[in-house]
């Protein structure tokens, strides 16, 4: 609730906004004028409020109209801005559209307006919700006049490609003006978390309805439905990125698709969607990595009317590109659940809050090489990329960020269709697609020469049993896989190739063995011994950690790793994405550079009861990381800090640690 919500739109709203802008901006050299009176709003044909300096002119347009009713506001906002530019051609002219909340159709209209003027230095529109506007004017009014200059305010409009919803606009305000405000940062983090959760739940419902329509109209049945929906979502994502990078108009909105249809001469034949997909497939970068080939085809029965009515109108409200929402993974989850492959879907669709938590826990460096050997749709890699790119500093920031995307994020999945999804996802989120492979994640020492090359592994490998007697597993594989059970009279030091027993074991056990080989023995030599090696953050079936059948695996973990944390997840964690209630834990371990050394530091243990989304996909508490208050991430950071402060040289002093902990 803001101070503007209950104001009368005729006699109070514009007047109050103008007063607040005057308090915030007059001391920064602005003149603020309301084009109405104390009793009446602005006259027709004029902006509601105008404010200007010698070099800058900004219109402020205010409304209490919400949802689709706001559509009619766009024409007058654009007309007033054009008139201001004609009147003040030497000034930079902008407009701010203020409303209770910005409806997605208004966001789309503003985006189309801004993108059309991408090559200009001004004439852009910024949407602001009441809450964002109130925060903006309050902070400026309270701050010293030398803080937050007119030039800084004008630079906000340079971020027009990020004006995709009110949450993202808030993030722009934080990053460009208020980045020292810790309280705002925490609020923003919490809003983003809730936004992602809400978006995913909404997207799932719309994707289910699209899938039903595909079957209802006989366009795609059974297995082909997943491919059709993936193609359609990818078209949306591709077009969003193309527009954001300034490479052309986004053809996957209702208005623009109709324009594309007419330009392609498909108004009567309704085949524009096939021509659009063909153009995308011919993109040179896709050919180089075989992302889309001649075998990737839209169904013949798919026509423009269906795409407009059932796909674009449903999906254009979601800004996939600027939100951490795995749209392609959501497609696979929907169809995986409907085809009965729930457990498999859960293997590579890790809940966003768990991914976010594990990436934060890993404390990635911008120079790290990160691997997910069971990457699914690429969620861990996407979040890791975002985290690492945000940590870049110094000179040539853009070049460093591009290097992260193109060379430092590696992933593989042995399901060719899922690997293609990951490639698509990595392209949409900033490239890296060339480092996604259709490979067995247990054999990357052979296929990709990754032994000793990886700084950090983030992964959620198959939760169920995997066979280890495959035809292509040779003697070298068995010599490396120390965790595979041997005959009782076999050597127990892992060094000899002895006869294995059994046929299968938990996939997580096999993957953590392979990961041990991939990780660097020393990741950062400047750190204390227990923190020097490569990091592994992995989700494991808890049977690996606490049953007699996996005692050999646990001994391997103790011998080869320093265990930093074991975080038990509620059985409900994967229910929203699959119907499995398998009990799992996050294991955080660091590879030893001296396997004979015993661990000195204590292990952090925690149990997670809530992960931010319940079994019915409703937002709930998040014990992992919630942006505010006490949570497991903050508890671990505190635990680690006390452990590092308890060393005498290279020796860990348990008494000192116990004293700090109050034991």
pLDDT tens digits, one per residue of 240-254: 888 888 888 999 999
CA contacts within 13 A on the Cβ side of 347: 22
What does the pLDDT read at residue 615? 72
Bridge-partner residues for 94, per DSSP? Answer: 58, 124
Mean pLDDT value of segment 3-23: 96
What does the pLDDT read at residue 497? 47
What does the pLDDT read at residue 343? 40
Mapping DSSP onto H, E and C, the string for 123-146 reads CEEEEEEHHHHHHHHHHHHHCCCC
Q: Name which residue leads in pLDDT, 452 or 333.
A: 452
List of E strands, 428-557: 436-437, 456-459, 465-467, 504-506, 535-541
Mapping DSSP onto H, E and C, the string for 536-597 reads EEEEEECHHHHCHHHHHHHHHHHHHEEEEEEEEECCCCCCCCCCCCCCEEEEEEEECCCCCC
Tokens of 113: 């307006």
C-beta separation of 585 from 545 below 8 A: yes
Phi, psi angle pair for 585, to nearest 5°:
-140, 155
Residue 654 has pLDDT above 50, yes or no: yes
Q: Quote the CA–CA distance of 475 and 452 in Å, as a whole number.
A: 20
How confident is the model over 288-310, as pLDDT tens digits?
777 888 888 999 999 999 999 99
Q: Which of 298, 320, 376 is nearest to 539 (CA)?
A: 376
The neighbour count for residue 355, using CB atoms within 10 Å, is: 21
What does the pLDDT read at residue 222? 61
Question: How far is C-alpha 59 from the chain's CA centre?
Answer: 34
Give the chain's end-to-end CA distance (angstroms, integer): 45
Mean pLDDT value of segment 439-449: 96
What does the pLDDT read at residue 320? 74
What does the pLDDT read at residue 496? 44
Residue 344 has pLDDT above 50, yes or no: no
What's the pLDDT band for 547 if we cut at 50, 70, 90?
very high
Residue 48 has pLDDT above 70, yes or no: yes
What's the pLDDT band for 555 if we cut at 50, 70, 90?
very high
SS3 395: coil
The overall longest dimension of the chain from CA atoms, in Å, is 95
Residue 340 has pLDDT above 50, yes or no: no
Q: Name which residue leads in pLDDT, 348 or 550.
A: 550
How confident is the model over 141-196, as pLDDT tens digits?
999 999 999 999 999 999 998 898 898 899 999 999 998 888 888 777 777 766 76
Tokens of 351: 């809940």
Q: Quote the CA–CA distance of 571 and 614 in Å, as a whole number.
A: 11
Length of the chain: 663
What does the pLDDT read at residue 341? 45
Residue 577 has pLDDT above 70, yes or no: no
Residue 337 has pLDDT above 70, yes or no: no
What topology does CATH give the domain 13-180? Restriction Endonuclease (3.40.91)
Class assignment of domain 344-465+503-625?
A: alpha beta
Mean pLDDT value of segment 396-404: 91
Residue 389 has pLDDT above 90, yes or no: yes
How confident is the model over 347-368, as pLDDT tens digits?
446 888 899 999 999 999 999 9
Tokens of 638: 């505190």
- The phi-psi region of residue 432 (left if phi > 0; otherwise alpha if psi is between -120 and 50; otherwise beta) is left
What does the pLDDT read at residue 348? 45
Q: Quote the CA–CA distance of 422 and 510 in Å, as a whole number.
A: 22
- Kindly list the domain boundaries of the chain, sorted by start residue: 13-180, 189-338, 344-465+503-625
The two beta strands, 561-569 and 584-591, are antiparallel
What does the pLDDT read at residue 152? 96
pTM of full prediction above 0.95 = no
How confident is the model over 450-506, as pLDDT tens digits?
999 999 999 999 888 899 998 889 889 999 999 999 886 555 554 444 588 889 999
| Mean pLDDT estimate for the chain | 88
What does the pLDDT read at residue 516? 98
Tokens of 88: 């003040």
- The phi-psi region of residue 649 (left if phi > 0; otherwise alpha if psi is between -120 and 50; otherwise beta) is left
Q: Which of 350, 628, 369, 632 is nearest to 523 (CA)?
A: 369
Query: Sheet containing 92-99: which strands, arranged edge to edge?
Result: 31-34, 49-52, 56-62, 92-99, 124-129
% residues pLDDT > 70 (the chain):
90
Tokens of 78: 């654009």
């Amino acid at each position: 609730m803001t101070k503007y919500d209950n104001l009368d739109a005729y006699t109070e709203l514009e007047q109050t906004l103008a007063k607040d802008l005057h308090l915030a901006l007059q001391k920064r050299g602005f003149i603020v004028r309301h084009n109405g009176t104390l009793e009446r709003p602005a006259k027709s044909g004029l902006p509601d409020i105008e404010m200007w300096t010698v070099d800058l002119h900004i219109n402020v347009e205010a409304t209490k109209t919400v949802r689709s009713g706001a559509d009619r506001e766009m024409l007058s906002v654009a007309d007033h801005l054009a008139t201001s530019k004609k009147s003040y051609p030497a000034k930079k002219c902008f407009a701010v559209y203020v409303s209770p909340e910005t409806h997605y159709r208004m966001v789309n209209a503003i985006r189309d307006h801004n993108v059309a003027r991408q090559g200009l230095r001004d004439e852009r529109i910024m949407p602001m919700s009441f809450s964002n506007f109130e925060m903006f004017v309050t902070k400026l009014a309270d701050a010293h006049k030398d803080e937050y200059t007119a030039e800084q305010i004008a630079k906000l409009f340079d971020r027009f490609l990020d004006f995709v919803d009110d949450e993202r606009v808030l993030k722009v305000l934080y990053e460009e003006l208020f980045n020292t405000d810790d309280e705002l940062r925490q609020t923003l983090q919490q809003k983003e978390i809730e936004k992602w959760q809400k978006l995913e739940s909404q997207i799932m419902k719309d994707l289910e309805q699209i899938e039903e329509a595909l079957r209802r109209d006989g366009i795609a049945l059974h297995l082909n439905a997943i491919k059709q929906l993936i193609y359609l979502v990818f078209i949306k994502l591709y077009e969003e990125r193309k527009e954001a990078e300034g490479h052309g108009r986004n053809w996957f909105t209702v208005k623009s698709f109709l324009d594309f249809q007419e330009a392609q001469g498909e108004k009567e034949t309704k085949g524009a969607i096939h021509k659009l997909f063909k153009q995308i497939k011919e993109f040179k970068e896709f050919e180089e990595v075989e992302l889309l080939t001649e075998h990737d085809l839209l169904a013949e029965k798919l026509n423009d009317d269906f795409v407009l009515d059932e796909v674009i109108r449903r999906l254009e409200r979601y800004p996939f590109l600027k939100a951490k929402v795995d749209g392609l993974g959501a497609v696979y989850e929907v169809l995986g659940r409907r085809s009965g492959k729930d457990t498999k879907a859960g293997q590579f669709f890790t809940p966003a809050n768990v991914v976010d938590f594990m990436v934060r826990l890993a404390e990635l460096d911008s120079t790290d090489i990160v691997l997910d050997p069971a990457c699914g749709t690429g969620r861990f890699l996407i979040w890791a990329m975002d985290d690492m790119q945000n940590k870049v500093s110094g000179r040539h920031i853009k070049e460093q960020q591009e290097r992260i995307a193109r060379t430092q994020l590696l992933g593989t999945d042995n399901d060719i269709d899922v690997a293609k999804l990951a490639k698509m996802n990595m392209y949409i989120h900033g490239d890296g697609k060339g480092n996604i492979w259709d490979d067995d994640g247990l054999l990357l020492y052979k296929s990709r020469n990754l032994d000793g090359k990886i700084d950090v592994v983030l992964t959620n490998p198959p939760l169920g049993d995997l066979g280890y007697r495959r035809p292509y597993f040779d003697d070298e594989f068995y010599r490396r896989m120390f965790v595979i059970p041997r005959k009782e009279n076999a050597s127990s030091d892992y060094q000899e190739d002895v006869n294995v027993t059994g046929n299968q074991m938990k996939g997580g056990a096999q993957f953590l063995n392979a990961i041990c080989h991939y990780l660097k023995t020393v990741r950062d030599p400047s750190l204390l011994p227990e923190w020097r090696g490569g990091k592994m953050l992995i989700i494991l079936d808890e049977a690996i950690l606490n049953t007699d059948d996996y005692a050999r695996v646990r001994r391997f973990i103790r011998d080869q790793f320093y265990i930093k944390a074991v975080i038990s997840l509620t059985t409900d964690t994967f229910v929203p994405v699959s119907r499995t209630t398998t009990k799992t834990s996050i294991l955080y371990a660091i590879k030893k550079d001296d396997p004979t050394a015993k661990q000195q530091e204590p292990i952090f243990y925690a149990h997670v009861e809530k992960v931010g989304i319940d079994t019915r996909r409703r937002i709930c508490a998040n014990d992992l990381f919630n942006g505010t208050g006490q949570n497991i991430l903050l508890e671990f950071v505190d635990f680690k800090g006390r452990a590092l402060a308890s060393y005498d040289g290279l020796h860990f002093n348990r008494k000192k640690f116990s004293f700090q902990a109050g034991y």
